[in-house]
Amino acid sequence: MQKEFSHEPDADRYVLRLGDEIASVLDYRLLGDAIAMTRAFTNPRLRGSGLAGELVAFAVDDVESTSSRHVVPSCWYVAEWFDRHPERTALLRPRTA
């Protein structure tokens, strides 16, 4: 099935779909100059396949390319993702536009 990544700002979330099915969701809250990534969820039958990690990577790329916000990893999964990707940790500090 084809993967489709999207940002749904009206719902404060990023979504990964496989075909017509929502496979993974990353919720967030905007906090001034920060974006707090608050919850990563993957459909239980699809867990362990790396989908949440792909979605976090998509979201981090989107934040980096479309805003000057920094990321607050409020969700344990997002925090672990940054631990596994130290090259991206600059986004954890406030940035200048």
- Output the pTM of the full model: 0.93
Give per-residue pLDDT as tens, 26-73.
Answer: 999 999 999 999 999 999 999 999 999 999 999 999 999 999 999 999
CATH number at residue 73: 3.40.630.30
34 belongs to a structural domain: yes
Instruction: Please check whether residue 97 lies inside any domain of the structure.
Output: no
Angle value at C-alpha 22, between 51 and 13, nearest 5 degrees: 80
User: What is the number of domains present in the chain?
Assistant: 1
Domain that holds residue 17: 3-92
